[in-house]
Structure 1
Amino acid sequence: MTQNTVSLSPSPQSMALAISNPGSLGTIDAYIAAVNQMPMLTAEQETALALRYREREDLDAARDLVLSHLRLVVAVARQYLGYGLPHADLIQEGNVGLMKAVKRFDPSRGVRLVSFAIHWIKAEIHEYVIRNWRMVKVATTKAQRKLFFNLRSMKQSGDTLTPDEIEHISHALNVREQDVREMEMRMTGREMALDGRDDEDDYAPSAWLSDEGAEEPTQVLERRARDELQSTGITRALDVLDPRSRRIIEARWLPEGDSATLQELANEFGVSAERIRQIESRALGKMRGELAQAA
């Protein structure tokens, strides 16, 4: 079989770096502009490259498959900007999913890579959103995750769901109506100031919350244990980390200002953003173990 060659521009070396490092081309806009210049593959070119990788483990062929589909990751990642997470990090996670898809892609099944890869890309981005979204345990079951990623688009307005809308969404997603109500409450809840503002006529929560001094002894002990864990437990957990891991955790999770992105830390340590993500994941695992022992 004659192998088709694929000419890609910009240079493969610079774009290969961009796979794991969206900021390597400058701003995120520059990265997006660069990947949109990558030519699309024909079905014959895609099949030839996929066979070269599967049969001969040709990494150059795998790279060309990934580079030609980076624009797909950008398009998918854009759909998740409403969760308040950095665009570059969303793209980075999507690129991981794309590379996993290329590794598992079988051209003999008669499916184009774009159709196969989109599921892997979304899966990686979903996991990233779930791990990092500010609502604790917002979606821990399969039904809750399905609602988390579909409820916004299925709501016909910004108002509270009506009983008919709840029933429709419940049937469409094959989940319980109770799950729909609960997820809507989690996603539409807003923060409220404890003392309110001076110009507000309404009572603030501090006016009607129960007196903390009226707690039962068991509640007092539980609160003290929780406060101890929050004040000293985190410090002890950080102490088990090496300096680089501690710097990454503090910059990502305990910043004094805005949290650092994977790319910013990658530039600081001279490694890829994917390497920073791996270090962060392992460090969080160590801290959870230390906090579990402290509890």
Structure 2
Amino acid sequence: MTIPVVSSADSLDKYLQTIKQFPILTPEEEYSYATSLNKTGDLESARALIVSHLRLVASIARGYSGYGLPQADLIQEGNIGLMKAVKRFDPERGVRLVSFAMHWIKAEIHEYIVRNWRLVKTATTKAQRKLFFNLRSMKQGFETLSPDDVHRIATELNVKPEEVVEMEYRLNGQEIPLDAQVDDDGEDVYSPIAYLQDEGPEPSALLETLQTEHMQTEGLSNALQQLDERSRRVLQARWLTEGDVSTLHELAAEFNVSAERIRQIEQKAMQKIKTYMLQSN
């Protein structure tokens, strides 16, 4: 099995058709391949993990088509990020590769954009970089920003209003030269290495967040399956409903037992849930 390469715009359609043929791995298959790769360095396992996620890269790359760069190049850069993610992926964390890989894919695409887009200069501030990647999506329509829009965006991104106006001017096709110096206000400027810094969470923090979310969703769902039908019904009615919460007396009437018995069932079920989730973690 080889990894397909998109080398030009002419081959993009063929590439997109090709990657659709690769099946998406089940959680069990993904775990098996990742474990084999981590323990033995098996290249076939690495290829299986990569090709099954090429559609993810293509989907993410489409979100950056507005910068005027070749889609084929964006995909190739994203594929590099995917390969880095596969190399670092630890299946024992309990997180799927699709969640872990998104950080690395976007980081490589961002780096490529700031290296190559014609309006991005060698030196730029953190505020300009933040505006560069967010201003288009925050604009409502294609009209020039109103003073209220400028104030809103500046507040949300924690930048100066004049920086919003300047970046809009640049994004509309009017280039403004930026020298690699400290400006009159003492504003720091940064070399291209600053572009590689992702303002999102570090991979370790991202993994911790994803792991917590996993426990709160899949972990809780699996834990509920360990309960008998009556205990599961009591917990769902008392704690997991979006509507009105059932009272002990209402559930007692439903199961023809005392309210005290429902309270005991609830406490035992909660303890079982807690024990199961701790063991699963």
Same structural fold, with TM-score higher than 0.5 when normalized by the shorter chain: yes
**Which position in structure 1 is the counterpart of 2:112?**
128
Task: Rate the CA distance shift 1:188–1:65 in 2: closer, same or farther, 3 A.
Answer: same
Give the one of 1, 16, 22 matched to 1:38.
Answer: 22
Secondary structure of the structure 2 residue equivalent to 1:27: helix
**Which position in structure 1 is the counterpart of 2:102?**
118
Give the one of 124, 129, 142 matched to 1:158.
Answer: 142
**Which position in structure 2 is the counterpart of 1:29?**
13
Which one is further off, 59-68 or 79-88?
79-88
**Which position in structure 1 is the counterpart of 2:54?**
70
Secondary structure of the structure 1 residue equivalent to 2:119: coil
**Which position in structure 1 is the counterpart of 2:166?**
182
Q: How does 1:1-295 map to 2 (within 5 A)?
A: 12-13=1-2, 16=3, 18=4, 21-23=5-7, 27-137=11-121, 140-190=124-174
Task: Rate the CA distance shift 1:176–1:116 in 2: closer, same or farther, 3 A.
Answer: farther
Secondary structure of the structure 1 residue equivalent to 2:118: coil
Q: Which has the larger radius of gyration?
A: 2
> Does the 8 Å contact 1:50/1:65 carry over to 2?
yes
Question: What are the Cα deviations for residues 25-72 of structure 1, in whole angstroms up to 9, with x where unaligned?
Answer: x72101001101211111121111111111211111111100100001
What's the TM-score, normalizing by structure 1?
0.55
Gaps of 5+ in 1: 1-11, 192-295
Displacement of 1:141 in angstroms is 3.0
1:162 corresponds to which letter in structure 2?
S
1:126 corresponds to which letter in structure 2?
H
What is the rounded CA distance, in whole Å, between the counterparts of 1:183 and 1:139 in structure 2?
Answer: 14
**Which position in structure 2 is the counterpart of 1:281?**
none
1:39 corresponds to which letter in structure 2?
P
Task: Rate the CA distance shift 1:156–1:143 in 2: closer, same or farther, 3 A.
Answer: same
> Does the 8 Å contact 2:114/2:120 carry over to 1?
no
What is the rounded CA distance, in whole Å, between the counterparts of 2:80 and 2:6 in structure 1?
Answer: 12
What's the TM-score, normalizing by structure 2?
0.58
What is the rounded CA distance, in whole Å, between the counterparts of 1:173 and 1:100 in structure 2?
Answer: 30
What is the rounded CA distance, in whole Å, between the counterparts of 2:129 and 2:166 in structure 1?
Answer: 12
What is the rounded CA distance, in whole Å, between the counterparts of 2:159 and 2:25 in structure 1?
Answer: 40
Which one is further off, 72-81 or 182-191?
182-191
What is the rounded CA distance, in whole Å, between the counterparts of 1:136 and 1:70 in structure 2?
Answer: 28
Q: CA RMSD in A?
A: 2.1
Secondary structure of the structure 2 residue equivalent to 1:28: helix
> Does the 8 Å contact 1:147/1:180 carry over to 2?
yes
Gaps of 5+ in 2: 176-281
> Does the 8 Å contact 1:139/1:148 carry over to 2?
no
2:103 corresponds to which letter in structure 1?
H
What is the rounded CA distance, in whole Å, between the counterparts of 1:136 and 1:153 in structure 2?
Answer: 18
